[in-house]
Amino acid sequence: MNVAIIPARGGSKRIPRKNIRDFLGKPMIAWSIDAAIQSQLFDRVIVSTDDQEIREISLAAGAETPFQRPQQLADDHAPTLPVIRHAVEWLESSGCTVSSACCIYATAPFLQTQYLKEGYDALRLTEGLDFAFSVTPFGFPIFRALKMGDAGEISMIWPEHELTRSQDLPHAYHDAGQFYWGTGEAWRQRAGIYSSRTQGIVIPPHLVQDIDSPDDWKRAELMAKALQHD
């Protein structure tokens, strides 16, 4: 069985209730639920939450909420992997065999089904792969990054690259914060996802935006509106 698991706790502080706040006409989490359902990759789409309102909105959007997320996995410091592990273990204790599970973040309104499918194909067809997740390139070579001292003085983090041409520096990527495919065994057994048994699925930068602050939210709205008129 393939399952989508969308973690969505109720206690977001920087953007209160961001998982269910209206984003271009529907609750934010509904965008992730819709993408999962429309991909036709999943036998079940499950929201892991500790919050009754999130549960009701998720059910209305077409997801399942078959369990209550434990409080120890719902605070500010709870990492994602144990949350997905809990969901996988709950499903298996209920008699389901989870061959693969995809964590989809609740704040991923730009998620496209084609990249979900690329991730699934990578996990299914690449021998020995544990995880496949969304990444995107940095907009500028990170090896030319600067730091600023207390008095505003500027220096390079990697001064050895001050004269290196940008095109001669290695490409660098960061987590796109959209989806994380993994085998059921990997979610149960692995302590982290970064390893030689993990593959990145490259998402174009114009479809990527973290949503952790009010400025992020505003930027995401502007991006979404631009995409609607593209």
Q: What is the dihedral of CA 225, 36, 129, 194, to 10 degrees?
A: 50
Return d(Cα 106, Cα 61) in angstroms, integer. 12
Tally of structural domains, the chain: 1
CATH (domain of 25): 3.90.550.10
In sign, the C-alpha dihedral spanning 59, 134, 84, 212 is: negative
For 106-135, the pLDDT digits (tens) are 999 999 999 999 999 999 999 999 999 999
Q: Are 100 and 188 in contact (CB under 8 A)?
A: no
Does residue 75 fall inside a structural domain? yes
Q: Is 144 exposed, middle or buried (0-12, 13-18, 19+ CB in 10 A)?
A: middle
Does residue 24 fall inside a structural domain? yes
Q: Which domain holds residue 38?
A: 2-137+173-228
Does residue 215 fall inside a structural domain? yes
The Cα-based distances of 34 to 1, 54, 223 in angstroms read 19, 15, 19
Does residue 61 fall inside a structural domain? yes
For 171-200, the pLDDT digits (tens) are 999 999 999 999 999 999 999 999 999 999
Does residue 182 fall inside a structural domain? yes
Query: Which position has the token pair 């509106």?
Result: 225
For 129-161, the pLDDT digits (tens) are 999 999 999 999 999 999 999 999 999 999 999
- Residues near 203 by beta carbon (within 8 Å), at least 6 away in sequence: 112, 115, 134, 135, 136, 176, 178
Does residue 147 fall inside a structural domain? no
Does residue 157 fall inside a structural domain? no
Count CB neighbours of 25 within 10 A.
Answer: 6
What pTM was computed for the model?
0.95
Does residue 219 fall inside a structural domain? yes
